[in-house]
Copies of this chain bind each other. A is one copy, B any other.
Amino acid sequence: MATPQNTSPLYNTIAVIGLGLIGSSVIRASQSNGLAGRIVAFDNNETVRATARKIGLGDEVVETAEDAVRDADLVILAIPVGAMASAVAGFAPALKSGAVVTDTGSTKASVVKDVSPSIPSGVHFLPSHPIAGTEYSGPEAGFATLFKDRYWIILPQGVDAEIVANFTQFLLGMGALVEDMTVEYHDRVLAITSHLPHLIAYTIVGTAFDFEQQVQNDVMKYSASGFRDFTRIAASDPVMWRDIFINNSDAVLEMLGRFNEDLSYLQRAIRWKEAEKLEDLFSRTRDIRSKIKDIGQLD
């Protein structure tokens, strides 16, 4: 067991709603860094709850979201963004005064719109988004270091500075790098860094599926030549991603429009064998990877 880095927990009781990759990782990271006095866990899927109990996630896995949040000082929503509205509406009456509610959703305008109306007065809603993940899902996929050296974006929107500062300490305690930004800017940046790449990867892997069986087999055999990198992304959780595209459709469609223009430009250069145009673009995209390495975001 890792040694707690804090002498006293930042929150007496934390409720984690949703026990997939993110929720289970939050629990493990909180526990191994001694960030919570007690962690109560809930998932609306009975099988997931059973697995969570079996592997000992949190101090208790309860049967309802209301029971999970009742004593919580911090409530963390780790569920698909399309499920936020009804989840919060359901458990909101059970929230105690002074509680902080955060989410981990990949779209922020939709979550703010869906969740804010249900937040009782005296409860603080502080949206956030960890930029971390793997292609695996479920309570057994989580691990304590998922957020280490990864950015966790917070969107304070007028929440009291003291509450923001305490939550920031919690995130830092899990090893995350914390940045704040506005909801609109978040949704635009994530559309290009995350949502568009996922859409493209899902598309190209889907395109490969429509070939005859022989080609499909050979696509897998020769996947090391580039295709393989797309399959990791295209193995991400389908429901989570369905919800992301539906809930950040404006920004995704804007980025897709830009991408399509650029792709058409290259397509035309290939058709007309305009070698220089191709080489120019391929040269300027080259050094971005070393820059990403420089800022510590390559594994």
Contacts and interface: CB of A to CB of B under 8 A. Distances in A.
- Quick one: copies of this chain in the complex? 2
Interface of A: 82, 106, 131-133, 135, 150-151, 153, 179, 188-190, 192-211, 215, 218-236, 238-239, 241-243, 245-246, 249, 252-253, 255-256, 258-260, 262-263, 266-267, 270-271, 273, 275, 278-279, 281-292, 295, 297-298
Q: Which of A133, A241, A292 has the most CB of B within 10 A?
A: A292
B231 A288 contact: yes
Given A193-B227, A226-B233, A282-B241, A221 B270 contact: no
Q: Which of A195, A220, A222 has the most CB of B within 10 A?
A: A222
A207 B192 contact: yes
A210 B192 CA distance: 11
A243 to B, nearest CB: 8
Instruction: Tell me if A's interface is mostly helix, strand, loop or mixed.
Output: helix
A270 to B, nearest CB: 5
B262 A267 contact: no
11 contacts: A132-B224, A189-B222, A193-B226, A197-B226, A202-B281, A202-B282, A221-B297, A231-B285, A238-B286, A246-B278, A253-B270
